[in-house]
Amino acid sequence: MNYVEEKLPYKSFIGGWHIDTKMCDDIINYHKSNIELHYQGRQGGTVDKNIKDSTDVSIDLGKQFKYRELFTNYADTLYELIKLYEKKYIDYNWCSPYGIREPFVIQHYKPGGGYKEWHSERTENRNRNLVFMTYLNDVPNAGTEFKYQKVKTECKKGLTLIWPTDPTHTHRGIVNQEKDKYIVTGWFGYFDGEYND
């Protein structure tokens, strides 16, 4: 499949491509249909709605569940995008092969909700190397702001971003006070041939 690239500053090390929007609808429907899996979004294991206000569902590719095919297809799409990222930023080839080694997360932000504080994806998990994030619906003025790159991306349905996990790419969500926003996000780590959570 040919993925349309989002034009972002080359020196930002933020890559963006547009994926199948039907997949986005299916992922939102999974979130809405599995209320029993909902939990309050956390930052560093702590719930603080002033920092992150979301309703999350974790997806563990290492487990069998009814909708596993949907998320395996999503993961396959991400692996295709990683190839495009490596082609664009050839210095990342030395990190290959990448794998999704931990559960990723579907996040629902109600109006006024969001990941409001500056943060990076470099946590106690040292294995993380690149972040992926897909906007699942169109929401004006609700994208992502990257602090040091001076880049703001738009929340466009199907737009999938990939960027480094480190503090060089500190970012925060842009909060929309009127509309619901859905994303799915997770991390690529160094791949050893098996899924690890």
Per-residue pLDDT tens digits of the chain, which is 197 residues long = 889 999 999 999 999 999 999 999 999 999 999 999 999 998 877 888 989 999 999 999 988 788 899 999 999 999 999 999 999 999 887 666 778 988 999 999 999 999 999 999 987 667 889 999 999 999 999 999 999 999 999 999 999 999 999 999 999 999 999 999 999 999 998 765 444 44
In a domain, 149, yes or no: yes
Which residue reads 């039907």 in tokens?
Answer: 22
In a domain, 41, yes or no: no
Q: If you count them, how many residues does the chain have?
A: 197
Provide the domain count of the chain. Answer: 1
In a domain, 81, yes or no: yes
CATH number reported for the structural domain that contains residue 118 in this entry: 2.60.120.620
pTM: 0.93
Estimate to the nearest angstrom the gap between the alpha carbon of 41 and the chain centroid.
Answer: 14
CA angle 117, 120, 123 (to 5 degrees): 115
Tokens of 40: 């309050």
In 3D space, the residue among 22, 10, 54, 13 whose CA is nearest the CA of residue 157 turns out to be 22
In a domain, 42, yes or no: no
In a domain, 158, yes or no: yes
Domain that holds residue 9: 4-34+53-190
Residue 97, preceding peptide bond in cis (omega within 30° of 0): yes
In 3D space, the residue among 170, 196, 185 whose CA is nearest the CA of residue 131 turns out to be 185
In a domain, 173, yes or no: yes
Estimate to the nearest angstrom the gap between the alpha carbon of 142 and the chain centroid.
Answer: 14
Q: Tell me if 146 sits within 8 A of 12, measured CB to CB.
A: yes
Q: Tell me if 109 sits within 8 A of 46, measured CB to CB.
A: no
Rg (CA), the chain: 16
In a domain, 44, yes or no: no
Residue 195: the pLDDT is 44
In a domain, 40, yes or no: no
> CB neighbours (10 Å) of residue 72?
11
